[in-house]
């Protein structure tokens, strides 16, 4: 049968703006979440993670927010730069308790384009 | 230190053939996971190996298999290739793999089946 490609959400911003990328996750039992950045021709690169006992975590220019009530994650990037242009994925560990053994469930991704 | 190395970077195969992809993890990492990335399905988990044992497996047909060697290097094999197997195959390594933080991905092998 014909395959239908994922229609990735896109976010276009100007250099220096703040960016917010959203993600809905599926498993209410997931207790660990990660944001990855994937540039063209490369594998996913770890950005920041958060555990379910937290609702906010900050890194360098990035902040992740977790709302377990509505199963929602967001990634905020401050002062977005052209080098931030990439596809951003959220991922969840579906087996709470550390038995997932490498299995992450990835979201569909969001394409971020930063214009100089 | 060197990152995760996947070889080859690009591969073109014909339907019905088989293919073997290789992954060398970060030195000292003992867990290796494999993922398939396609425009239609996104990133999907294939399997995970630790100390030469498969500990976890995704929902892929038996044509997809893997193994891990004593030096932690891993290979995955796809037999009887189908057009739908065209994808970017990614491996990721971790120290222990008991929890999924700390997985470092390679740049992948782009497989095209014609």
Interface A-B, measured as beta-carbon pairs within 8 A, has a size of: 83
Q: Is B70's pLDDT higher than 90?
A: yes
| 8 Å CB contact between A32 and A90 | no
Q: Given this model, what pLDDT does residue A32 score?
A: 87
When the pLDDT of each residue in chain B is averaged and rounded to a whole number, the result is: 93
Q: What is the pLDDT of residues B3-17, one digit of tens each?
A: 999 999 999 999 999
Which structure tokens are listed for A74?
């967001």
Convert the pLDDT of each residue in A25-75 to its tens digit. Answer: 988 888 889 999 999 989 999 999 999 999 999 999 999 999 999 999 999
Could you give the CA distance from residue B46 to residue A86 in angstroms, rounded to a whole number?
24
Tell me whether residues B98 and A109 touch, CB distance under 8 A. no
Query: Distance (Å, rounded) from C-alpha A81 to C-alpha A84?
Result: 5
- How many angstroms separate the CA atoms of B66 and B68, rounded? 7
Least confident piece of the model among A4-8, A39-43, B18-22: A4-8
Give the integer Cα–Cα distance in Å for A110 and B42: 11
User: Residues of B with CB below 8 A from A107's CB?
Assistant: 42
B100·A103 Cβ contact <8 A: yes
Which residues of chain B have a CB within 8 Å of the CB of A32? 99-101
Report pLDDT for A102.
80
Q: What percent of chain A has pLDDT over 90?
A: 72
Q: Does B60 contact A at CB distance below 8 Å?
A: no
Query: What CA–CA distance (Å, rounded) separates B84 from A84?
Result: 31
| Residue A26, number of CB atoms within 10 A of its CB | 10
Half-sphere exposure of B67 (CA within 13 A, CB side): 5
């Amino acid at each position: 049968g014909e395959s239908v490609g994922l229609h990735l959400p896109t976010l276009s911003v100007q250099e220096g703006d703040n960016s917010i990328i959203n993600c809905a996750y599926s498993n209410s039992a997931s207790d660990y979440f990660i944001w990855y950045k994937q540039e063209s021709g490369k594998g996913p690169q770890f950005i920041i993670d958060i555990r379910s006992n937290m609702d906010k975590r900050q890194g360098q220019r990035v902040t992740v927010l977790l709302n377990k009530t509505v199963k929602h994650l967001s990634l905020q990037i401050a002062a977005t730069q052209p080098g931030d242009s990439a596809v951003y994925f959220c991922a969840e560990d579906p087996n709470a308790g550390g038995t997932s053994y490498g299995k992450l469930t990835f979201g569909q991704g969001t394409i971020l384009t930063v214009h100089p | 230190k060197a990152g995760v190395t996947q070889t080859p970077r690009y591969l073109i195969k014909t339907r019905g053939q088989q293919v073997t992809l290789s992954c060398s993890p970060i030195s000292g990492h003992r867990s290796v996971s494999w993922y398939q990335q396609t425009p239609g399905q996104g990133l999907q988990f294939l399997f995970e190996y630790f100390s030469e044992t498969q500990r976890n497996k995704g929902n892929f047909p038996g044509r997809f298999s893997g193994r891990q060697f004593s030096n932690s290097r891993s290979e995955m094999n796809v037999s009887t290739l189908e057009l739908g197997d065209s994808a970017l195959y990614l491996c990721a390594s971790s120290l222990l793999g008991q929890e999924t933080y700390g997985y470092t991905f390679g740049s992948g092998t782009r497989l095209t089946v014609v």
